[in-house]
Amino acid sequence: MRIVVIVRQTPDTEAKIKVAPSGDTIDTEGIKWIVNPYDEFAIEEAIRIKEKLGKGEVVLITMGPARCIEALRTGLAMGADNAIHIKDESFAFTDPYALAKVIAQEIKNLGEFNLVLTGKKMIDEETGQVGIHVAEELGIPHVAIVTKVELSSDLTKVTCQKEIEGGQMVVEVPLPALITCERGLNEPRYASLPGIMKAKKKPVKEVTIDNINLEALGLTKEALGPAGARFRVTKLEVPQIQRRLKILKGKQQDMVKGEEVAEAVRELVRLLREEAKVI
Amino acid sequence: MSNEIWVVADLTIGGDVRKVTFEALSEARRKLVGKLGGQLCGVLIGSGVSALASELGKYGAEKVYVVENELLKDYTPEAYTVALSELIKKHNPYIVLAGNTSVSQDFLPRVAARAEAGLAVDCIDLDLTDDKRLVVKRYKYSAKSIAAVEFLDYKPMMATIRPNVFKPEEDVKNPEVVSESVEIKPEGIWTKILEVRRKESPRPELTEADRIVSGGRGLGSGENFKLIFELADAIGAAAGASRAAVDSGFVPYEMQVGQTGKVVSPTLYIAIGISGSIQHFAGMGSSKVIVAINKDPDAPIFQKCDYGIVGDLFEIVPVLTEEFKKLLAQQ
Ligand SMILES: Cc1cc2nc3c(=O)[nH]c(=O)nc-3n(C[C@H](O)[C@H](O)[C@H](O)COP(=O)(O)OP(=O)(O)OC[C@H]3O[C@@H](n4cnc5c(N)ncnc54)[C@H](O)[C@@H]3O)c2cc1C
Ligand SMILES: Nc1ncnc2c1ncn2[C@@H]1O[C@H](COP(=O)(O)O)[C@@H](O)[C@H]1O
């Protein structure tokens, strides 16, 4: 059983976003990088499947600049076996279309694989398509936004519970298949100290831009870089929604108490009705 | 390349057209059709769905393509991908739009891959450049920034829109209905649907709701969430929660709003016993009016809301529910 996990490095969820002087991207100065939270669910699930079976191999794959090795090391420390880093500084902003093609090609190059796991979306670019596009390139089924995974005992099928509006769906697809992971699937483990030590020795294969058969993918070198192929970001803004900040407090500049409760509530309802006009 | 702008209809489990479809039709008509000199078309995929064409006509569709097939009765990504891909190949639309729903998120990436088209998801603004390329705005970095994104080619240009952002507006047309048959091979359908569980809730769905009442860790227990439900019901709102409330086991994950939960943008968002973390705001920061009820005057949420009451939610919420009930009863 070989499980491939597609991972991405993203800015920390707490990171303050500043627009770079170029106006079309973020200033990465001082940003702390983490494993995309949805991809952590994917790594955790892969390791759990391997542990449950008592055998198998978990392979991580990422495409991005040198800093992304940290994301791979985190996954290896959690328990993945080895990793592939498709590496170039220009890959920090690759178009989702090109990303999916290149990642799919590397997965094909592995030869055999049974399951591909990835996150529901990346929390930075939020393109919402790379995983499913990879499945299309691989010619395998996918199940998206999954909160439960169960392999059949003969390892030929997988049953998944997925979230839909107003409910859930349980579906079954044959393996190999690709699954995009949603929160609720599992609680990712923290890497243990021995895990972190071991991770340093685990193999990470580097693939450079010259190793990619771009022609076969119908891509150009430029298509992999910030210029992008299908879109161009013309402007990035940090939204400044002006909030009214009308806070009703008690006499002591603190909690409303006793009589003040009913007064504050009436005032709130009045504001919602007369000022905001939403009730 | 035709001059058609397509809106792919999204249906509920019960088979009704989702509101977001009407929102997409309306915004396409307002912002794109005139500039392009194009024709607004609806696309219906399913089995026994042709009667819904007039619904799309109500919101301005002049033509509706209907792909009906027994194998499209239940949604599977494979069959829907074939249906829409074949239709695109045959008619070459200029722009393809849909709502950003779980179904679109599931099969449009495959369709885009086949058409070699760019796909921008969850857009909050649609426009055309002077040379008639689609420009959209969409959130990036967990709603902390908004990017203007310009399409560079036309194969077609594909985008999904965030529900509840654009105003649905009727413009009644009597659409020409074009029935299309697409060959779908049963053996190409990999997905077997074992079960569809409908959440039996009297409340609107979070992602579509115009009003939302959410509770956080401050509620203290699952039992206490009845305060949230009662307030929500009084104003016809959906009920949501912070991750801390979900992680504490008060309510199920499907209620979580935030970076790793649902992304919502209602007109009114009432946050109760929620501190206002960056990750929570990533899911609801674009709400039109935000109200906070929290006992801590220094809670971060008071720095980024419209209205707030500093106080004990257990005292305030029941009174607020009654006050809303009284007000709405008068109408
Ligand atoms: C990768 C990652 C992803 C995350 N994703 C999400 C997400 O999607 N959604 C999300 O919400 N969070 C998310 N979080 C968690 C987030 O950081 C916060 O921990 C969480 O939002 C806190 O929830 P809370 O406001 O309910 O709880 P708390 O921060 O504990 O706040 C509880 C509030 O209730 C108030 N309170 C207590 N009792 C009362 C009372 N009687 N009356 C009035 N007020 C009272 C307190 O003053 C306090 O402000 C994520 C975190 C990480 C690291
Ligand atoms: N550069 C990348 N390298 C590896 N995986 C990626 C990369 N970009 C996106 N992904 C994966 O694609 C998933 C889905 O991204 P999205 O396109 O937002 O749906 C993410 O969870 C990542 O695991």
pLDDT band at A166 (very low <50, low <70, confident <90, very high): confident
Query: Looking at residue B155, what is its pLDDT?
Result: 84
Binary contact (A265, B101; C-beta < 8 A) = no
Do A254 and A170 belong together in one domain? no
With a 6 Å cutoff on the Cβ, whether B273 touches ligand 1 is yes
Query: Looking at residue B143, what is its pLDDT?
Result: 81
The predicted model gives A64-87 an average pLDDT of 98
Do A75 and A172 belong together in one domain? yes
Number of domains in chain A: 2
Mean pLDDT over each residue of chain B, to the nearest integer: 95
Do A223 and A139 belong together in one domain? yes
Query: Looking at residue B288, what is its pLDDT?
Result: 94
User: Mapping DSSP to helix (H, G, I), strand (E, B) and coil, where does residue B35 land?
Assistant: helix
A 105-144 residues with CB < 8 A to B: 123-129, 131-133, 135-137, 141-144
Q: What is the pLDDT of residues A25-60, one digit of tens each?
A: 899 999 999 999 999 999 999 999 999 999 999 999
With a 6 Å cutoff on the Cβ, whether B279 touches ligand 1 is yes
Do A137 and A183 belong together in one domain? yes
Residue B194 has pLDDT above 90, yes or no: yes
Residues of chain A in contact with residue B207, where contact means CB-CB under 8 angstroms, are 165
A149 Rama class: left (phi>0) / alpha (psi -120 to 50) / beta: beta
Question: How many C-alpha atoms does A186 have within 13 Å on its Cβ side?
Answer: 19
Q: Domain for residue A149, yes or no?
A: yes
Residue B55 has pLDDT above 70, yes or no: yes
Q: What is the pLDDT of residues B72-128, one digit of tens each?
A: 999 999 999 999 999 999 999 999 999 999 999 999 999 999 999 999 999 999 999
Which residue does chain B place closest to A181, by CA atoms? B260
Q: Using a CB–CB cutoff of 8 Å, tell me whether A28 touches chain B.
A: no
CATH of domain B5-188: 3.40.50.620
**Residue A139 to chain B, least CA–CA distance (Å):** 10
Do A124 and A209 belong together in one domain? yes
Mean pLDDT over each residue of chain A, to the nearest integer: 94
Domain residues for the domain of A62 are 2-228
Q: Report the residue among B214, B275, B293, B316 best suited for mutation to probe ligand 1: largest number of ligand atoms under 8 A from its CB.
A: B275
Q: What is the pLDDT of residues A218-263, one digit of tens each?
A: 888 888 887 767 888 999 998 888 999 999 999 977 899 999 999 9
The predicted model gives B165-169 an average pLDDT of 93
Query: Looking at residue A231, what is its pLDDT?
Result: 87
The predicted model gives A85-101 an average pLDDT of 91
Question: From the candidates B96, B190, B211, which should be mutated to test the interface with A, based on the most A CB atoms within 10 A?
Answer: B190
Q: Domain for residue A195, yes or no?
A: yes
Do A164 and A269 belong together in one domain? no
Return the number of other C-beta atoms located less than 10 Å from residue B200's C-beta.
Answer: 7
Do A86 and A149 belong together in one domain? yes
Query: Looking at residue A228, what is its pLDDT?
Result: 67
pLDDT band at B294 (very low <50, low <70, confident <90, very high): very high
Residue A158 has pLDDT above 70, yes or no: yes
Do A255 and A170 belong together in one domain? no
B 103-162 residues with CB < 8 A to A: 103, 105-106, 108-110, 112-114, 116-122, 135, 138-142, 144-153
Of the candidates B220, B319, B211, B209, the residue with the CA atom closest to the CA atom of residue B274: B220
Q: Using a CB–CB cutoff of 8 Å, tell me whether A168 touches chain B.
A: yes
**Residue B89 to chain A, least CA–CA distance (Å):** 17
The CATH class that applies to domain B206-330 reads alpha beta
Query: Looking at residue B68, what is its pLDDT?
Result: 96
Q: Domain for residue A58, yes or no?
A: yes
CB environment A173-201: b (16+ within 10 A), e (fewer): bebbbbbbbbbbbbebeebeeeeeeebee
User: Mapping DSSP to helix (H, G, I), strand (E, B) and coil, where does residue A273 land?
Assistant: helix
Q: Using a CB–CB cutoff of 8 Å, tell me whether A268 touches chain B.
A: yes
Residue A11 has pLDDT above 70, yes or no: yes
CA B77 to centroid of ligand 2, rounded, Å: 20
Question: From the candidates B309, B322, B323, B326, which should be mutated to test the interface with A, based on the most A CB atoms within 10 A?
Answer: B309
Do A153 and A253 belong together in one domain? no
Do A210 and A152 belong together in one domain? yes
Could you report the predicted ipTM of this complex, rounded to two decimals? 0.90
Do A88 and A172 belong together in one domain? yes
pLDDT band at B201 (very low <50, low <70, confident <90, very high): confident
Q: What is the pLDDT of residues A179-212, one digit of tens each?
A: 999 999 999 999 999 999 999 999 999 999 999 9
Q: Which residues of chain B are in CATH 3.40.50.620 domains?
A: 5-188
Q: Domain for residue A237, yes or no?
A: no
CA A106 to centroid of ligand 2, rounded, Å: 14
Residues of chain B in contact with residue A133, where contact means CB-CB under 8 angstroms, are 109-110, 112-113
pLDDT band at A14 (very low <50, low <70, confident <90, very high): confident
Cβ–Cβ < 8 Å for B291, A272: yes
Which residue is closest in CA terms to ligand 2's atom 7? A8
Of the candidates A63, A23, A162, A228, the residue with the CA atom closest to the CA atom of residue B120: A228
Query: Looking at residue B240, what is its pLDDT?
Result: 98
Q: CATH number for the domain including A129?
A: 3.40.50.620
Residues of chain A in contact with residue B78, where contact means CB-CB under 8 angstroms, are 141
* Assigned token pair, B292: 């906070």
The predicted model gives B143-149 an average pLDDT of 91
Residue with more model confidence, B141 or A199? A199
The predicted model gives B33-44 an average pLDDT of 96
**A176: cis peptide before it, omega within 30°?**
yes
Residue B275 has pLDDT above 80, yes or no: yes
pLDDT band at B277 (very low <50, low <70, confident <90, very high): very high
Do A205 and A97 belong together in one domain? yes
Of the candidates A144, A158, A142, the residue with the CA atom closest to the CA atom of residue A104: A142
